[in-house]
Amino acid sequence: MKKNLLVLLVLNVYSFNGYTQNEKFYVTEIISDKYAYVDVVKTYERIVAKGYKSIVMFKTIGDSYYTNFELDKAAKWYCELFAMTTDLEPKYYQQYAKSLKAIGENDKANEILKRLNQKYENRVDNTSLKLQ
C-alpha cells in the first residue's frame, strides 16, 4: 500500500514539471473568467508596451477586440500578429481582413484574403475562402 502511494506521489510530482508558458496564459484567462474581473487584455497590452511580444498575446488581444466589435483596435493587433508570423489558422486571416474592411482599408484586406487563398489553394478541403 505504501509502495503504491509512493509511486503515485512521484508520478504526480513529475506531471507538474510539464507546464509551458502558453498554459500559463490559458490559466490566467480561466481565472479571470471564474473568480474576479481581471482585464487580461489590458494586462497583455502593458506587457507588450514593455517590449515583450508573443503570438499568444497578440491572438488574445486581437480576438478580444474583434468579438467586442472594436475592429480598429483588432486590426492593429492582428497587424502585429501577422508581422510575427503568417503561419496561422484561416480564422485569423478572415478576422484581420474583416477588421481592415471595417476601417476602410479595403486594398489591404483584399491582399490578406489573396494570401489566404494562396496558402490554402492546394488543400483538398478548400471551399472558396472568401470574406463572408
Instruction: Give pTM, 2 decimals.
Output: 0.65
Q: Is 7 or 81 the better-scoring residue by pLDDT? A: 81
Residue-range domains of the chain with CATH:
19-119 (1.25.40.10)
Res 22: pLDDT? 47
Distance CA 42, CA 38 (A): 9
pLDDT tens for 47-95 read 999 999 999 999 999 999 999 899 999 999 999 999 998 889 999 999 9
Res 41: pLDDT? 86
